Amino acid sequence: MTFLAMIIALVLERLSPLEDWLHRDGWFRSWQSQLAALGLSGTAHTVVSVLLPCLLAQWLMGHLQAFLFGLAWIAAAVLLLLYAVGRGNLSADQERYRSQCRREDLEAVLRDAGSGFDWDEEEGSPEPGRIHQVVQAGFLYNGYQRWFAVLFYFLLLGPVGALAYRLLQLSCEQPAQQRGLLFYCDWVPVRLLASTFALAGNFVASADELWTAWRSASLGQGQVLYRVAIAAAGEQPLDVGTGVSGHQAAVCNEGLSALMQRAAVCWVVVVSVFVILL
C-alpha cells in the first residue's frame, strides 16, 4: 500500500498545483505561536511542535487502516505525502535564474539569492562567483528537500515520517536553526543523494568528493550536494575569486538540473525493483 500511495502522490504532484489547495501552513504557524506563548523555545519548541501533530496523524492512520479495505489509509497517505512535498515551483525558479543569467542581470540574481538562499550571511563580499555558487547549492538542496528527503522518510517511517520531515523543515527555515535537528535528519539522505549523483554521472571524477562528504561530519548539506554534483556532472566549479559570465552560470545550472533528474529516475527504478522483489 505504501508503494501504491507513493505512485499516486507522484502522479498527482505532477498534474496539480499543490500550492492552490494543499500547501497551506497557516495552521502550523499558529500552532508554533501558541507554543511560543507558553514559553517553549529552542529545541523543545521544535520537538513539541513537530511531535504532537505527527502523533495525531499516526493515531488517525492507525484507525483508517482497516476501513474500506485499506483504501481510506491509501487516500490519507497520499494526502500526507502531497502535503510533505516541498513548497514552490523549483523548475520555474531555475528557469527564471537561467534567464537572468543569460541577460547578465546580476542585480536580479542578487535580489533573488538574498531572499531565497541567504548569500548575505556568508563570509566575504558578494562577488558574482560566490553568489552563483550559493544559488547553485541552494537549488540542489531545495530539490533534495522537495522530494528526496520526503520520499526517504516516507519509505523508512511511513506517511507520518514524511510529514515529520516537512514540519521539521518548516520549523528550521532560518540558516542558524538548520544546524540542529534538521542537520542530523539530513545527514544520511543528503549523502545517499550525493552517491546517486556519482552513479548517475562521472563516478571517477566525483569519487574523491563523495568520499570526503561521507567522512565529514560538519560540511553543510548544500555544499555536499554541490561539490559532488559539480564533479559528477563534469562541470567546472564557479570561480569565487574571478568574474563569472552569466552564460557559464546558466549552463552550469542546466547540467546540475539534468543530473538531479537522472538521480530521481534512478531512485524510482531502485524502489520499484525493491518492491517487486519483496
3-state DSSP call for residue 211?
helix
Name the stretches of the chain with pLDDT < 50.
Answer: 121-124, 178
Alpha-carbon distance of 111 to 70, in angstroms, equals 48
Q: What is the structure's pLDDT at 243?
A: 64
pLDDT tens digits, 107-146:
777 777 656 665 554 444 567 777 888 888 889 999 999 9
Alpha-carbon distance of 118 to 174, in angstroms, equals 9
Are 208 and 177 within 8 A, CB to CB? Answer: no
Q: What is the structure's pLDDT at 152?
A: 93
Q: What is the structure's pLDDT at 122?
A: 46
Beta strand extents in the chain (DSSP E only): none
Q: Pick from 212, 226, 209: which is nearest to 260 by CA?
A: 226
Per DSSP, the residues of 37-61 read HTT--HHHHHHHHHHHHHHHHHHHH
Q: What is the mean pLDDT of the chain?
A: 84
Q: What is the structure's pLDDT at 248?
A: 83
Backbone angles phi, psi at 228, to 5 degrees: -70, -40
Are 138 and 56 within 8 A, CB to CB? Answer: no
* 124 grid coordinates: 566575504
Q: What is the structure's pLDDT at 2?
A: 78
* 141 grid coordinates: 538542496
Alpha-carbon distance of 42 to 56, in angstroms, equals 22
* 114 grid coordinates: 538574498
Please list, in sequence order, all residues whose beta carbon lies within 8 angstroms of the beta carbon of residue 179, skipping any fewer than 6 positions away: none
Are 42 and 103 within 8 A, CB to CB? Answer: no
Q: Counting runs of H as helices and runs of E as strands, what totals does the chain give?
A: 13, 0
